Structure 1
C-alpha cells in the first residue's frame, strides 16, 4: 500500500495554478491592458451579480421568482403560519398628530382669511382628524392579535400590513406594544419611501412587483381588515372580494371598519340593485367599529367555519 497523503488545504494551494496570475507584461506588453478590458466587460460579470443582465425583459421570470422566494423563505424561518392583514389610509394619523395638523391649517388660514385653498385644507384636516380614532382602533387590534394564542411569542397568527404609515403603522405598533412580531410588505416606488418603525426588522420586505406583494398578502391570510383608506386600500379589498367571490381562494373573513365611511365610499346595495353583483356577494364582508368587535367576529367566523384560527399542525 502506497503512502496515504494528508488532505489538501481547504482554501489555499501550496503552489498557485497558472491561471491565478494574469499574463505578465514581460511576456506581452499589451497583455495587462487586454486582461483588464475583459475583466471590465459586462459579459464577465457573474450572472446573479449583474444588474444590467437581471433587469432585461427576458429575465423578468427570474426577478418574479426571487421577489416571491426571499420573503417566503424568511417567513418560514420565523415560523409565520398565518396572518391578519390590515389595510387602511396612510394619511390617517394618531389623534394628537391629526389635531396638530388642524391647528397648523387654522393658523395659516387666520393669516390669510380670504384664501379658499387654505380653507379647503382646513376642512380636509378636520375630516382626517375626525377619522383619527381609527388609528387607536387599529393599534388596539394589533395588541389583541399580538397577545392571542399562546402570547406574544406565538407566531402562528401575526399582523401583516403594507408597511407604511397611518393605519398600517398603528396595527404594527400595537403588536410592538406587547412585544409580538409583525410583518410589513413594502413596495419599491419611484419616490423613496420608508417603512414604519414598528415592524419586526427581519420581517419587513420590499417588493419590486405589486403582483408578488399581493400574493404574499393572501397566501397566509386568515382575515382582511380594511379601515378607511384610498386607492391602495380599495385595491386590496376588491381583489380579495373578487377572489372569494370566484372561489379562487378559500373564503376568509373580510371586515370593513367604519360603517359610515364604507357605506358612502362604496354603495354595495346599488351594485346589487343594478344586478352587477348577487345578493350573496354582499354577504362576503361585514362592518365593525371597535378592535374587540373586529377580533371577536374573526374568531367567531373561523369557529362557525369549522376551523381553528390557531391550528396545532
Structure 2
C-alpha cells in the first residue's frame, strides 16, 4: 500500500530505536525473508513476534508502539514470503502463511515466543498457537477474528474499495483504519507521520499480486462455518484480545467472540476507534500488552 505523506501531522525528529532498526534478512529455504529485530534482550522474557495486517510491511508498525513493547524484551517484525522486502510467493491461504511464519521462527532458533497478530496477522497467530502450541507462550489478537466467524466473509462496498484499491491515498487509509471523529482522524495523521519518519532503508511496498493472494486468504478464512469456532477451545495459552469499538473490517463483535471461545481470554475494547485502534492508542495499547505479557 503506497501512502503519500505530503499532508501529515507534525512529528518529532527524534530517532527511536524501533523506527530506525536495521533491515535484516535470513534465508528460509529458497526465499529470503526480511525482518527487523530490536529491543532489550531479556533472560526471562521470550521475544515478541509481530505479524502484520493485510498489505502491510515492516514500516507499517507504529514506532511509538514498538518502542513501548521493546522496553524490556526483544521484538521481531517480519515480512512473510512475497511481502515487502521478502522474496517468494505469497500464499493464498492462512495455513501456508502460518507454515512460512514457523519456518522463519525456526531458522532464528526461537524455541518459545510471545506472538502479537494484527488483522490478517491475527489469523496466522491463532494458527501458530494451534499448530505449535508449545512454541507460543502468550498470545495477543488485535483487530482480528476467528475462522468461520459471522459477517467476516464479505466486506462492505466501502471497506473493499478502500482496502483493495490499487493505490491507497492517505485520506483513504485514515478513513479505513480510524473512526470519523475529529480526534481519531487527527491521531490517524499523526500515525502516518510517525511511520514515515524513516526516509532511508524503507521496506518495499507490497505488490498487487501479494494483495490478491492475501485477499483470497482472508475471504477463505471468513467463509461462515460455525463448526470452525470449536477450534478455539484448543487455544490454551493466556490470550489478550483487543480492538476498537467500531472495527468495520473485522467487526468488533468477532473480538468478543474470540474472547468468549478462548478459555480465560482477556479483552480490551478501545473507545472511538476502528481497525487501527493500536495506531490511535499506541502508548496505551503498548502498556496493556506489557502488563499482559509480564515484565
Q: TM-score, normalized by length of structure 1?
A: 0.29
The structure richer in strand per residue is 2
Query: Structure 1 or 2: larger helix share?
Result: 1
State the structure with bigger RCO (CA 8 A, min sep 6), 1 or 2. Answer: 2
